[in-house]
Amino acid sequence: MANRSMRIVGGGIEVPVDDDIHDLASEFLHDEDDPAPNPDLRPSQRVARIVLERSGLMQEFRDRIALGVPGVWLVECGADGWTNTLVRTIGKSLHISFDHYQWGRGFDLSLLARAAELGRHIIMTRDDDDDPFDDEIRLFALAEFDLRDDRPEDVAQIVSDHFGRQIDWPADLLPRRMPYHALDYALVYGADAAAAERLVRVQIAVEERKRAESAIRRTEEKEKEAARNASRRGSGAKIDILRPTSPRVEDLAGYGEAAAWASDLVADIAAYRAGEIAWSEVDTGALLVGPPGTGKTLFAAALAASCDLPMISSSFGQWAAAGASYQSDTIRAMRQTFEAAAANIPLLLFIDEIDSLPRRGMSARHDDYWRPIVNTLLECVDGTLRTEGIVVIAACNDADGLDPALLRSGRLDRRFEIGLPDAQALARIFAHHAPDLPAAAIEPVATALAGTASGADVARYAREAKRLARHAKRPIAGSDILQVAMPPETRSAAVVWRTAIHEAGHAMAYLATGRVPLAMSIISSGGAGGYVEGPRDVVTEQRLGDLESMVLPMLAGRAAEDVILGEASAGAVGDLERATTVLSAVEGGLGLGGYLTPGGPDRASVEARIRRVYGEALMLVLTHRIAILDLARLAVDRRVLSEDALRKFANERGLA
């Protein structure tokens, strides 16, 4: 089934999101019944305007805007390309823009109801391949229009005007049969009407061939997927039982409280095996939280080795890939993992990417899909942790979005932050991966990279440094590690300075409130020009002010560019996306915005809130402008600043 589409007036490029659509009314109060053609319309759009005026939809829309009364119209268009042409024609003719939404069978009507409440004018379109409009959708509509009344004489009129002489247009070349912009292309490159007709036919043939090839590919993919799913259902997903032996927990460095807890668990399991304590006295559930590459999976495997336990390692990604990504396949794979754990006790079960499962009620539009999956996980964790002989360790990058029920007592109630290693831990990790490197050479490298490099990073640095030394036919040196970890700068001085200002803005948003980031780097890596890793020790009450305070550092990098360099760059797009995600939840699912009832957020209200927080970020930058400049200069000089270096900087300026 092709997706139905809904266009909502009031968003997009031509009309700012905070404009009221009713402000456009005066423009149409004195319109002629037969308005003059818009000279900005393309030929295909002029054809579409003829059809729109003949149907009465254009006048209906014009009248509603003039009266300031919102409306909902259902429109039969026939084909996707024709739909796009019609909608763009309405927009250009009436000087308005559209937000565009698509949905299939699972569409939540609350989005439509919310748009109507906000006074937006709505056009809902349907192509011939779509299911008919539902009766519940028709309840919202003022009227239905059929725009499949396109005629060859409509095209003939526009083509005749273009070539300056009267021509006839073939009856089989109706506008809705033409690919999007086909007529526009034909009139640009066709020397006469006959050539234009040939070009249109060629484009139709090419489009039909593409559709046929696409249909064949979809059919083949469906057949392959059906075969894969049948195979999975017949045999069940294979679950490997791992038996790690090294490294052991006592061999690891940089795990802090998690290492102490693991040491106690090793002792408790030994006591349980000796009959000294009951299994109910063993701490069997924990959550590891930390950025990618900090060794959460390694920690779980080392714990299994120290406890002499076999291990199953799974993740939400594996469960979701067990079938056609349908809810039932994911739940089935999840249950199989926990059943395998129960069948192989004693055992350590490790679940990675658990933050891929959102908390229930977080998104009104998708909650019906996620809620049964989260409920199943809670049920499985409960049953498993009550089973004697199973330890469950879960891991995630960000625990803020986890369902609170997952973390309550008796489930994953022990939480450990796995941060980036400090200088001492980093030196031990370097010594493990590069035992030939003298301690005197390791120390300055570990100091420079403390709080900015993970254990996985160190393993890669050591591997690449060994290769450099091997190719040079000499022993590995500290300079090899630095060359790999901090490669020479290739960007221009202007780009480096902008990056430093941007990252200093992020860091200052933390420092100004007495919190010290864990690291700041302006080394380009992984598509990012630099980064600031904020403190992870802040637990809030999730009030509105708490969430806005979380967003402010995200926007402070862009604000620093804006204030200090005179304009912002597109490099802040990732920051804006993260800020929008948080504030959309505020306005939508969390009940902290203008509505208590959960629902889809209104773009205008999210924009207003993000602009207000951005204003606070601008004021912060203005207040601490000199300190930001000093921090940026320090970053350009050192390239990487550890938590200790940032704390020293803050202390020198009375910020911490």
In whole angstroms, give the CA distance from residue 58 to residue 39: 17
Dihedral sign from CA coordinates of 554, 556, 560, 562: positive
Tokens 């992020």 -> residue? 506
Residue 75 pairs with which residues in a beta bridge?
A: 125, 145
- Residues ≥6 apart with Cβ < 8 Å to 205: none
In whole angstroms, give the CA distance from residue 326 to residue 331: 9
Find out whether 63 and 101 touch, Cβ atoms under 8 Å: no
Centroid of chain to Cα 392: 28
In whole angstroms, give the CA distance from residue 559 to residue 622: 9
In whole angstroms, give the CA distance from residue 58 to residue 55: 8
- Catalytic-role residue among 76, 197, 503, 561: 503
- Residues ≥6 apart with Cβ < 8 Å to 379: none
Determine what percent of the chain falls in helix, strand and coil, rounding each to the nearest 5.
55, 10, 35
Phi/psi at 202 (5° precision): -60, -45
In whole angstroms, give the CA distance from residue 236 to residue 384: 20
- Per the annotation, the verdict on 503 as an active-site residue is yes
Nearest to 565 by CA among 629, 492, 649: 629
- Residues ≥6 apart with Cβ < 8 Å to 22: 65, 68, 119
Centroid of chain to Cα 507: 23
Find out whether 394 and 288 touch, Cβ atoms under 8 Å: yes
Peptide bond into 37 cis (omega under 30): no
Return the active site residues. Answer: 503
